[in-house]
Amino acid sequence: MRFFVVLLALAMGCEPSSGAKSARTIVSNGGRYTVEVSTSPAAIAVNQPFDVTVSVTPKSGDAGALEVQVDARMPAHFHGMNRVPKVTRGSGNTWKAEGLLFHMSGHWELYVDVTRGAATERAQLDVDLK
């Protein structure tokens, strides 16, 4: 099991035993937002709940007018998670999604949807869970 946790940590861009940076930074699909995503715990395990902390930096404008949602799917299996995470706004431009759970191994896509007014952009991370 430790081998698989280390593989996932490497896939997420971190090395849990070395204290390396556990967050990943991506740009939303329309290019309007830079999104930093970190998980707690840093290494996601099958059937173990985890939380996601999201920091959003708009290319222009104020982060105060933004809404954020977090979700995940397994595209090869045509389904999502069995749980709906609770997303709450923190201070400044941060949000926390609690109660995510990947109930099976395989390829997952973690979605962060950033909405301002009627426009939503998605930032997506691939997670390969062994």
**Residue 20: predicted pLDDT:** 40
**Residue 61: predicted pLDDT:** 79
**Residue 91: predicted pLDDT:** 92
pLDDT in tens, the chain (130 residues): 343 333 344 444 444 433 344 799 999 999 999 999 999 999 999 999 999 999 999 998 777 789 999 999 999 999 999 999 999 999 989 999 999 999 999 999 999 999 999 999 999 999 999 8
**Residue 2: predicted pLDDT:** 40
Query: What is the CATH code of the structural domain delimited by 2-129?
Result: 2.60.40.1930
Closest residue by Cα to residue 120 from 24, 32, 57 = 32
**Residue 63: predicted pLDDT:** 77
Closest residue by Cα to residue 100 from 57, 63, 46 = 46
Q: What is the DSSP letter of 4?
A: H
**Residue 84: predicted pLDDT:** 95
